[in-house]
Structure 1
Amino acid sequence: MLPYIAPSLRAHILNILLSHASDNDSIPVESDSEEDPYTLRSTVTKGGSTAVGAFATCDIERGEPIVTERAICIWPQELKREEAEALFEQMSDHARDALLALANVAPSDLGEVLGRRATNGFNVEVPELEMEWAGVYKDEKGEGKGEIRPSHAGFIFPRIARMNHSCLNNADHAIDWSNLLMTVYATTPLAEGQEITIEYTSALIQRTRAERQAILQDSFMFSCACECCSLTGEALAASDRRRKEVNEIVVGIASGGFERPTVLKGFARMAQLIEEEGYMGMPEFSDPGVTGAYHMWVQMVKRRMASEED
Structure 2
Amino acid sequence: PYCIEATSYCVFTNAKFQGPNRGVSIIEANSSQATAVLASTASLHVVSSGAPEVGNESPPYQVQDIPGKGKGVVATRKISRGEVFMLDYAAVLVDTQMPSRIKRDQGRQLLREAIERLPAARKILDLARSSLDPDNVPAAEDVIKTNSFQVDIGGKGYMALFPEIARMNHACKPSALTRFNATTLSNTVTAFHDIHPGEEITISYTPFGLPSTSRQALLRQNWGFECACSLCASPPNELAASDARRKMIADLGQQVLGLVEKGSAASMKRAAELYSEVADAVREEGLVPHLGAHYEVLGRLYIAAGDTKKGAEMVRRAVDEGKGFE
TM-score (norm 2): 0.71
Shift of 1:293: 7.0
- Counterpart Cα distance in 2 of 1:36 and 1:25: 15
- The DSSP-based 3-state class of the residue aligned with 1:267 is helix
User: Alignment partner of 1:58: what SS?
Assistant: coil
Residue of structure 2 equivalent to 1:134? none
The aligned counterpart of 2:284 is 276
* Alpha-carbon distance in 2 for matches of 1:189, 1:77: 35
Counterpart residue identity of residue 172, structure 1: L
Q: Which runs of 5+ in 1 are unaligned?
A: 129-149, 284-291
Q: Identify the residue that residue 190 of structure 1 maps to in structure 2.
A: 195
Q: Letter of the aligned partner of 1:82 in structure 2? A: Q
Structure 1 vs Structure 2 CA RMSD: 3.6
- Which residue type is aligned with residue 113 of structure 2? E
* Alignment match, 2:143: 116
* Distance across 1 between alignment mates of 2:179 and 2:25: 20
How far off is 1:22 after superposition?
A: 11
Aligned to 2:61: 38
In 1: Cα distance, 2:142 partner to 2:79 partner: 33
User: Pick from 88, 108, 111: which aligns with 2:112?
Assistant: 88
Per-residue deviation, 1:106: 2.1
Q: Write the letter of the residue equivalent to 2:236.
A: G
Among all aligned residue pairs of Structure 1 and Structure 2, give the percentage whose two residues are the same amino acid: 26
Q: Matched residue of 1:6: which SS? A: strand
Q: Is 1:77 the counterpart of 2:96 in the alignment?
A: yes
Q: Deviations over 1:60-108 (max 9, x none)?
A: 1111112101111100125235314324314424242232111111243
SS of the residue 1:185 aligns to: strand
Bigger Rg over Cα? 2
User: For residue 143 of structure 1, what is the aligned residue in structure 2?
Assistant: none
Contact 1:81/1:111 (<8 A) preserved: no
Instruction: Indicate the residue corresponding to 2:29 in structure 1.
Output: 8
Aligned partner (choices 177, 181, 185) of residue 176 of structure 1: 181
Separation in 1, partners of 2:290, 2:45: 28
Aligned residue in 2 for 1:101: 126
Q: 5+ residue gaps in structure 2?
A: 1-16, 18-22, 301-312, 321-326
Of 66, 70, 74, the match for 2:85: 66
CA contact (8 A) 2:48 2:87 kept: no
Q: TM-score, normalised by structure 1?
A: 0.74
Paired AA for residue 239 in structure 1: S
Paired residue type of 2:192? T
Note closer, same or farther for the CA distance 1:155–1:250 as it changes in structure 2 (3 Å cut).
farther
Name which of structure 1's ranges 21-30 and 217-226 shifts more when overlaid on structure 2.
21-30
AA matched with 1:269: E
Secondary structure at 2:86 match in 1: strand
**Higher-RCO chain (CA-CA 8 Å, sequence separation at least 6):** 1
Please show how residues 131-210 of structure 1 align to structure 2 within 5 Å: 150=156, 152-202=157-207, 204-205=208-209, 207-210=210-213
Residue correspondences, number: 272
Q: In the alignment, what sits opposite 2:226?
A: 223
Q: Residue deviations 1:32-65, cap 9 Å, x none?
A: 2662211122223xxxx34321110001111111
